[in-house]
C-alpha cells in the first residue's frame, strides 16, 4: 500500500471568511493546496534567486521597484520577492501587506515551497483582500498565511509575484471623505469611490510570528527522509536589518470636487455650532488629503460667526 506523502488540510480563519472585500475580484473558494492554476518554476530558475531570511518577530518592507528580483518565467510579470523562513520553530503566521500608492497597487501571489523546493501551497492574488485605511495604516491589500512546516525541515520558502491577468484587474477603494465620516460617526456622503489599478511594482510589508492552530502543512510528513535532496537556492542573503524610518509620504493629490465640498460644508457646520475644535480637526484632515480651500473656508466661517 502506498502511503500518502502529504497531508492536505485547510481551515481558513473565520475572520477571513467573513470579510467582504470591496474589490473587483470574483469571489472564489480558495484551496491553497490546489496548485493547478499556479505558475510552474524550474529548479534552474529558482537557483537564480537570492532568498532573504525572514525570522519570527521580524517586520520587513520591500520596494519592488528597487529591491525586487527579476525572474524570467511564463505566467508572471514584473519583479519578484523571495524569502526563506525558519521551519523548525513551530507553526507560523505570516501577514503580507501591499500598500496602495497614488491609486496603484501590487496584487501579490505567494507560492510556498518546502525545504526541497517542492510547491506546497499557492495563495493567488484574490486571497489578499482590500482593507480600509486606519489610524496607523493606509489603503492596502492584505492576507495572513497560516502554515505548519513538517518536521525535519530547516527552512521553507515564499516566492511573491504578480501575473499578467492580475494587471488587468482593479481594486475599488473607499473615498477618504467616506472613511472619515464613518470614523467620526457622521453621515456618509454619496460620492464615488476611487479605483486602484493593479501594477507590476509596489511596496510590500511582511510580518512573521509563531502561532497555534495553523492549518496548511508544508513539506512531506516524514520531513528530511524524502527522497529529493535538499536544494541550496542561490546565496541566501544575510538577515535583513530593521526597516529604517519611511521616507515622508508624497504630497497628497488635489481632492475631488465632491470631497472638497463635503469637508467645507462640515467645517461650516462645526463653526456654526460653536465646535471650533471639531472644525480644526476637519481642517487638518482635509489638508492632509489635499484640500486647497478648507483653510479659507475655516477662516471665513470664523470671521462670519464673529
Residues 52-71 pLDDT 10s:
999 989 899 999 999 999 99
- Tell me the C-alpha distance between 109 and 64, whole Å: 14
Q: Which grid cell is 160? A: 511573491
pLDDT value at residue 214: 60
Residue 287 confidence class, pLDDT cut points 50, 70, 90: confident
| Pair 190, 68: CB distance under 8 Å | no
DSSP, collapsed to helix, strand or coil, labels residue 146 as: strand
The angle subtended at Cα 173 by Cα 169 and Cα 175, nearest 5°, is 145
Asked whether the CA dihedral 220, 224, 226, 228 is positive or negative, the reply is: positive
pLDDT value at residue 220: 76
Residue 184 confidence class, pLDDT cut points 50, 70, 90: confident
pLDDT value at residue 139: 95
State which H helix or E strand residue 296 sits in. helix 294-305
pLDDT value at residue 277: 64
pLDDT value at residue 213: 67
pLDDT value at residue 124: 96
Residue 211 confidence class, pLDDT cut points 50, 70, 90: confident
| Pair 26, 178: CB distance under 8 Å | no
pLDDT value at residue 2: 36
Residue 99 has pLDDT above 70, yes or no: yes
Residue 8 has pLDDT above 80, yes or no: no
pLDDT value at residue 305: 53
Q: Per-residue pLDDT tens for 130-162?
A: 999 887 889 999 999 999 898 889 999 999 999
CATH second-level architecture of 14-174+198-225?
Sandwich (2.60)
DSSP, collapsed to helix, strand or coil, labels residue 94 as: strand
Q: Which residue has the higher pLDDT, 99 or 288?
A: 99
Residue 127 has pLDDT above 80, yes or no: yes
Q: Per-residue pLDDT tens for 220-262?
A: 754 444 433 333 334 455 444 444 444 444 555 677 887 888 8
| Pair 128, 140: CB distance under 8 Å | no
Query: Which residues of the chain does CATH 2.60.120.380 include?
Result: 14-174+198-225
pTM for this entry: 0.66
Amino acid at each position: 500500500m502506498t502511503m500518502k506523502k502529504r497531508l492536505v488540510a485547510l481551515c481558513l480563519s473565520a475572520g477571513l471568511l467573513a470579510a467582504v472585500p470591496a474589490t473587483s475580484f470574483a469571489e472564489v473558494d480558495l484551496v491553497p493546496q490546489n496548485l493547478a492554476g499556479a505558475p510552474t518554476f524550474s529548479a534552474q530558475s529558482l537557483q537564480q534567486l537570492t532568498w532573504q531570511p525572514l525570522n519570527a518577530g521580524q517586520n520587513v518592507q520591500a520596494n519592488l521597484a528597487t529591491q525586487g528580483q527579476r525572474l524570467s518565467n511564463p505566467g508572471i510579470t514584473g519583479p519578484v520577492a523571495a524569502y526563506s523562513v525558519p521551519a523548525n520553530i513551530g507553526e507560523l503566521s505570516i501577514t503580507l501587506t501591499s500598500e496602495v500608492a497614488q491609486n496603484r497597487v501590487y496584487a501579490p501571489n505567494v507560492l510556498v515551497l518546502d525545504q526541497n523546493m517542492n510547491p506546497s501551497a499557492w495563495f493567488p492574488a484574490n486571497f489578499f483582500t482590500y482593507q480600509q485605511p486606519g489610524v496607523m495604516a493606509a489603503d492596502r491589500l492584505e492576507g495572513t498565511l497560516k502554515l505548519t512546516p513538517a518536521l525535519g525541515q530547516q527552512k521553507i520558502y515564499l516566492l511573491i509575484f504578480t501575473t499578467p491577468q492580475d494587471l488587468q484587474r482593479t481594486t475599488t477603494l473607499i473615498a477618504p471623505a467616506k472613511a472619515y465620516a464613518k470614523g467620526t460617526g457622521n453621515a456618509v456622503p454619496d460620492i464615488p469611490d476611487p479605483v486602484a489599478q493593479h501594477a507590476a511594482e509596489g511596496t510590500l510589508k511582511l510580518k512573521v510570528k509563531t502561532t497555534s492552530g495553523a492549518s496548511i502543512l508544508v513539506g512531506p510528513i516524514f520531513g528530511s527522509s524524502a527522497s529529493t535532496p535538499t536544494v541550496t537556492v542561490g546565496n541566501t542573503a544575510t538577515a535583513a536589518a530593521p526597516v529604517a524610518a519611511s521616507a515622508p509620504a508624497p504630497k497628497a493629490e488635489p481632492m475631488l470636487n465632491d470631497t472638497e465640498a463635503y469637508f467645507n460644508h462640515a467645517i461650516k457646520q462645526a463653526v456654526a455650532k460653536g465646535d471650533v475644535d471639531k472644525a480644526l480637526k476637519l481642517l487638518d484632515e482635509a489638508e492632509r488629503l489635499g484640500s486647497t480651500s478648507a483653510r479659507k473656508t475655516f477662516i471665513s466661517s470664523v470671521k462670519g460667526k464673529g
